[in-house]
Structure 1
Amino acid sequence: MATANLTVDLDAIAANWRALNRLSGQSVQTAAVVKADAYGLGVTRVARTLAASGARRFFVAYAEEGAAVRQALGPGPQIGVLSGHMPGDTEMIHDLDLTPMLNSLEQITRHLEALPGHAFGVQLDTGMNRLGVEMLEWQAVAPILIEAGPELLMSHLACADDPDHPANEAQLKVFHEMTDGTGVPRSFAATGGILLGQRYHFDLTRPGVGLYGGKPYDAAIPAVTLTLPVIQTREVEPGETVGYGCTWTAERPSVIATVAGGYADGLPRTLSSKAQLWDGDTPCPLVGRVSMDLITVDITDLPEVPRSLDILGPNQGVDALADTAGTIGYEILTALGARYTRRYQESTA
């Protein structure tokens, strides 16, 4: 079998949710963000695990993602759609009981006209300048909207992963200005916002990347192991090159393992000749370029040829690999390819 094994530790995801729920405080509800197929890990199994752990509200990016969560969980849990009420989504929002987070005057009009009485929330722009109703627009429509009974008023922090960034306090001030006195439940904190402290928690927190073992939640339990099978090995003499572009040249007699996995599987080309793979606790350097389906690894110093090597695991998490690639853990997680054989690990108790 040449496909790699992506092992998802559902117990770790559940434990991370419970820990972030405790950090959020007893009076605060903790949701779960499961967009992008639960950050690449498989939304059906992940959403069911989180629901069993106590999550009752979930967030996705698009209505189509909400359909997958509803299919996984059935009726009951609330599913918030962060992109709001887009053209063509009305039937899906209604039939699947999704809760759009309305982002603009256009969406507000569409929702109230197409689905009067159907649950909705409102996303406010407090300074990120991405999604959300701006201050002047909100002042104009707030009386009408509040009378219509939104489920939630929310906003999103631009710099929550940097606790000392002045944008955090600036956005918090604006959020208070826009929402104080409305009597509507509020949400401001994703994973990074939870770690900023209770002033950012309000009524609902919505952790995402921290559930899956990523920064800025340094206390998270790693949730992913990615094991790549060795397809072939060869001996390379000094002066011989390996891979596209002949970018790596052997300086000693070397044993090179060709390993299943490449940029089609979410391993960035920027890992070329930089990353490490692991045989247990022994690091093995990736040599040459990452290609579409394959990478090459120097295993000269191993006592024997391994059947597989880990690129994500106890010795190298998603953020460490991301640092090597010059990106962020979110990108590593969400790019994990569809060709991997996904295995789910959970206790049977």
Structure 2
Amino acid sequence: MGTGRLSIDLSAIVANWQALASLARTPAAPVVKADAYGLGVGPVARALAAAGARQFFVAYAEEGFALRRALGPGPEIFVLSGHMAGDARLVAECGLTPVVNSVDQLMRHLESVPGQPFGLQLDTGMNRLGMEWNEWAAVAEIALSQNPVLLMSHLACADEPDHPMNAYQLDLFRQMTDGLNVPRSLSATGGILLGPDYHFDLVRPGIGLYGGLPFEHARPVATLDLPVIQVRDLQAGEVAGYGNAWQAQRPSRLATVSAGYADGLLRSLSHKVTLWHGDTPCPAVGRVSMDLIIVDVTDLPEDPEHLSILGPHQTIDQLADAAGTIGYEVLTSLGTRYARSHRE
């Protein structure tokens, strides 16, 4: 097999969801946008639904369509981009619940699909999505008369527990929503970990489901093994890879594995990433190219058939640190060429 093997542990995703829901002591609606953070929305969502999840979040109505096909009728599907122009048919036919972000979206929703459930997002300081204080004050009476099913906002700095922005946003969210008889939601994974003041009526775990920080106790979810295409010997002084970027300082044995930046293994990993053969680390050498990575396997007793880049010795966040990015980008960048398997 010429492609890498990406294995996704569905039982670990379910266990992470259950752990975060237990911390919050409130319903936990999994965030499965971006194809469940790159791991396959159908298998992931079905496993979570089988475990009891009844509400889900996606980014766009088109993702909601794919999720509804995977889950069938029943679970509630919230759309974080709200009600965009042209969404009315999908919203109605798929039974989606847009989280409207502006006065324009609110009017579009009420006019195009009257009676269809909707939520509202309020901006409490992130300045990305949602109605600001003045907008909300202007339309709150109209909006509330139409019985929204959720009022939500989003924390900008929840992965930094001591950041003053967290308390500021919490206070503003309370000022904007206290006394209203509508379920509320403020927290994704980071907010869940901030404690019960941030939990309200519904939480929205995302990256923590998939084994990423800031949920330090998450079970690892993804393993990625890369097949070795060729192994060769170099003498001291010989070079390898594009630009002669690496030179052997000793007689060396190099393995070329099948994956590169076309598969989500970012070029910024060049000279910085380690692969593993069992418990033995094997440093990558030279530049990451589109389809290939060269690895120094001199210290192995035998030539490997494959090397691991995600697994027991390297998490998505450790790989992200090496690339100078975050675990979210590592997961969502994983390419379509891997042979994927989902195990219960």
Please give the range of the TM-score, normalised by the shorter of the 2 chains.
over 0.9
Distance 2:151 2:248 in 1: 59
TM-score normalized by the length of structure 1: 0.98
SS at match of 2:284: strand
Q: Measure the CA separation in 1 of the matches of 2:308 and 2:334.
A: 14
Structure 1 match to 2:218: 220
Q: Distance in 1 between matches of 2:203 and 2:266?
A: 32
Query: 2:308 aligns to what?
Result: 310
1:146 to 144, 151, 172: 144
Q: Which amino acid in the other structure matches residue 325 of structure 2?
A: T
**TM alignment of 1:91-102, pairs within 5 A:** 91-102=89-100
- Residues 62-98 of structure 1 deviation map (CA, whole Å, 9 limit, x = unaligned): 1111111101100000000000000111100000000
The answer for the alignment partner of 1:16 in structure 2 is 16
Question: Which ranges of structure 1 fall in alignment gaps of 5 or more residues?
Answer: none
* Identity %, equivalent residues: 65
How many angstroms does 1:163 deviate by?
Answer: 0.2
Question: Distance in 2 between the 1:297 and 1:29 partners?
Answer: 45
Letter in structure 2 aligned against 1:116 = P
- For residues 82-231 of structure 1, what are the structure 2 equivalents within 5 Å? 82-231=80-229
CA RMSD of aligned residues (A): 0.5
Residue segments in structure 2 that go unaligned for 5+ positions in a row: none
CA distance in structure 1 between the aligned counterparts of 2:339 and 2:133, rounded to whole angstroms: 47
CA offsets per residue over residues 109-155 of structure 1, 9 Å max, x none? 10011011100000110000000011100001001100100010000
Residues of 2 paired with 1:246 and 1:99: CA distance?
54
For the residues of structure 1 that align with 2:51 and 2:153, how far apart are their CA atoms?
25
1:68 match: 66
> Where does residue 243 of structure 1 map in the other structure?
241
**Would you identify which runs of 4 or more consecutive aligned residues in structure 1 move more than 2 Å?**
none
Deviations 1:6-44 (A, max 9, x none): 00000100100110110011xx21110000000000000
For the residue of structure 2 that corresponds to 1:156, the secondary structure is coil
Partner of 1:232: 230
Q: CA deviation at 1:182?
A: 1.1
3-state SS in 1 of match to 2:226? strand
Mapped partners of 2:301, 2:94: distance in 1: 56
Could you tell me how far 1:53 is from its partner in structure 2?
A: 1.1
Partner of 1:254: 252
Report how far residue 239 of structure 1 moved: 1.0
Q: Secondary structure at the match of 1:256?
A: strand
Give the distance between the partners of 1:191 and 1:270, measured in 2 at CA. Answer: 27
Q: d(CA) in 2 for partners of 1:312 and 1:50?
A: 23
Q: Among 26, 29, 36, which residue is 2:27 paired with?
A: 29
Q: State whether structure 2 residue 314 is matched by structure 1 residue 329.
A: no
Deviation of 1:282 after TM superposition, in Å, equals: 0.4
CA distance in 1, matches of 2:257, 2:273: 13
1:320 to 312, 318, 321: 318
Aligned to 1:42: 40
Give the corresponding residue for 2:7.
7
Shift of 1:236: 1.0
**Which amino acid letter does the alignment assign opposite residue 156 of structure 2?**
A
The count of aligned residue pairs is 344
Q: Aligned partners of 2:62 and 2:47: how far apart in 1? A: 20
Report the Cα offset of residue 232 of structure 1.
0.4
1:284-326 deviations in whole A, cap 9, x for unaligned? 0000000000000000000001100000000000000000110
The whole-number CA distance in structure 2 between the counterparts of 1:65 and 1:214 is 22
What letter is aligned with 2:24? Answer: S
